[in-house]
Amino acid sequence: MDVIVVGAGSLGSLVGGLLAREHAVTLVGREAQVAAIEADGLTISGAIDATVHPSAAIEPPASADLALVTVKAYDTEDAARTLASTSLDAALSLQNGLGNEATLAANLDCPVLAGTCTYGARLLEPGHVECTGVGDVVLGPRAGGTLERADAVGVAFDRAGIDTTVAADMPQRLWEKLAVNAAINPITALARVPNGALADGPAATVAHQAARETARVARAHGIDLSDRDAVAATDRVVADTAANHSSMLQDVERERRTEIDAISGAVVERASSAAAADDDSGTQASGEDVGVAAPVNGTLAALVSAWEAQRNLR
């Protein structure tokens, strides 16, 4: 399969590098990354050791079988416009937050797939990415159901040694991922702690509150995600990635803009637009637009946004 990876940062470089073991891959990224890969290839270290030699470019080529999009959520619109002139059979988002797939679909003349990825990645320097944890990929049609091209992408990922599931319930999986990200990313970024610090104590309490709020908003939008499942998913990721620095913590450490708007901010935005709210019994109330309260996510979003504003990152 001919694959373009748009966003050759940490995750894009890792997944693209793994795909390059089996497929023709072009990593589209910044000038320093492109120059390093063209000169010496891409080094993968950590939980996976490999050196691969994908193509690298600042702009995407004219055509490909698949565009894998791994840019930050706030860059999705630009990435979509960049890809609009590329002939594609499919595009797959492995990004954080909600709404990325809709942005891509509005600009691309091909099926857009949704995906989640649990690999841990950190770009150490141009041309060198560290795999901080081996995970898996789940992908499928963004609105749910089945699609032949999703199956083909899943086969291609499996052939490259990436444990991949093609799922028919991607809307629910995206909301569960959002609950996990809302629970882990802003708290680790604000407290400057690795994921494992959320295993117990005050940080775990706040993380669980954020996850439960997200599940409540999901249910108000017709997604079957229970509080218990959202908390369990959070605890599972915390345990599996205890030593990792979340992507938002990495952004804060490097004084870069975060994806808070697409994570905690997305929860707050969708809470205010919800057409129904859960009552204390856990059942869904119906009737007029009453909204759903999301004070923990709102507070986390405000604090991270304030940090960004102080550094003129917004």
**Active-site residues: which are they?**
177
Identify the CA nearest to 10 among candidates 92, 72, 81.
72
Distance CA 190, CA 176 (A): 22
C-alpha angle with apex 132: 129 to 137, nearest 5 degrees?
Answer: 90
Other CB atoms within 10 Å distance of the CB of residue 103: 20
> Which H, E and C letters describe the chain, residue by residue?
CEEEEECCCHHHHHHHHHHCCCCEEEEECCHHHHHHHHHHCEEEEECCCEEECCEEECCCCCEEEEEEECCCHHHHHHHHHHHCCCEEEEEEECCCCCCHHHHHHHHCCCCEEEEEECCEEEEEECCEEEEEECCCEEEEECCCCCCHHHHHHHHHHHHCCCCEEECCCHHHHHHHHHHHHHHHHHHHHHHCCCHHHHCCHHHHHHHHHHHHHHHHHHHHCCCCCCHHHHHHHHHHHHHHCCCCCCHHHHHHHCCCCCCHHHCHHHHHHHHHCCCCCECCCCCECCCCCCCCCCHHHHHHHHHHHHHHHHCCCC
Which residues make beta-bridge pairs with 129? 44, 123
